[in-house]
Amino acid sequence: MRLILCGPPGAGKGTQCKRIVDKYALTHLSSGDILRAERAAGTELGKKAQGYMDTGALVPDDVIIGMMIGAIKKAAGNYVLDGFPRTLPQAEGLDKALREAGEKVDAIVNLLVDDEVIEKRLTGRRSCPTCGAVYHIENLPPKVDGQCDKSCGQLVQRDDDKPDVVRNRLKTYHEQTEAVVGFYEAEGRSILNINADRDIDEVTTAVFAALNKIDG
């Protein structure tokens, strides 16, 4: 199964992806996680991405398209894309690469949440730099304050989850990313719109119910 998970930053894409990949045995391809790993490893790609990520801007399309098409090829037709495509050129680049391979995306899951909710989610997000687990100081707190439940150690706040950058990321989302769903709608693809402004488990139940329909 080939899926795309769309939605604003903080909608719960990463949280829901972890559950989707467990249930449907897919590879989780998060453009943000891949970029953060490249930065941590100090690669050329990571260095190129750094300035954009720090201000809440998007990394240039040519860099992202090459990086993600490479990751998709390795995932052998079973994946969920998280955070990609984020612009119309990225959606077109993905479409072209899939068409050339005789493939297409099975569904687009679109998580819907208002901006006010997003700000609270992102500024309260805490992440484990070691295992990638994601918590929230109020909605999904770790068992011990500030510590990963998997004994990895200290949780961190992503620099781009600080209030100023969050506002820029939301602006970037409305200006450049929101249109991606329209692109798929115009192509007659299956868009699964999910109200993501409710409890994490309720969102998962709604996502699974929608996916079970397309999975037969």
Which residues participate in catalysis according to the annotation? Answer: 13, 86, 125, 158, 169
User: Smaller CB distance to ligand ADP: residue 107 or 135?
Assistant: 135
The least distance separating ligand ADP from the CB of residue 198, rounded to whole angstroms, comes to 6
Distance, in Å, from the CA atom of 189 to the CA atom of 183, rounded to the nearest integer, reads: 9
- C-alpha dist (Å) from residue 172 to 44, 139, 168: 24, 25, 6
Binding site for ligand ADP (CB under 6 A): 7, 9-15, 31-32, 35, 52-53, 56-59, 64, 83-84, 86, 90, 121, 124-125, 134-136, 139-140, 160, 169, 196, 199-200, 203
Distance, in Å, from the CA atom of 209 to the CA atom of 216, rounded to the nearest integer, reads: 11
User: Smaller CB distance to ligand ADP: residue 107 or 155?
Assistant: 155
Name the closest residue to ligand ADP (Cβ): 32
**SS3 assignment, position 193:** strand
User: Smaller CB distance to ligand ADP: residue 102 or 159?
Assistant: 159
The least distance separating ligand ADP from the CB of residue 196, rounded to whole angstroms, comes to 6
158: left (phi over 0), alpha (psi -120 to 50) or beta: beta
Q: What is the 3-state secondary structure (H, E, C) of 168-191?
A: HHHHHHHHHHCHHHHHHHHCCCCE
Alpha helices in 75-162 (DSSP H): 88-100, 115-123
In contact, 197 and 113? CB cutoff 8 Å: yes
Question: What does residue 191 show for φ and ψ, rounded to 5 degrees?
Answer: -105, 120
Type of residue at 28: H
The least distance separating ligand ADP from the CB of residue 216, rounded to whole angstroms, comes to 27
The least distance separating ligand ADP from the CB of residue 1, rounded to whole angstroms, comes to 20
User: Smaller CB distance to ligand ADP: residue 188 or 201?
Assistant: 201
User: Smaller CB distance to ligand ADP: residue 15 or 110?
Assistant: 15
The least distance separating ligand ADP from the CB of residue 112, rounded to whole angstroms, comes to 11
Distance, in Å, from the CA atom of 99 to the CA atom of 93, rounded to the nearest integer, reads: 10
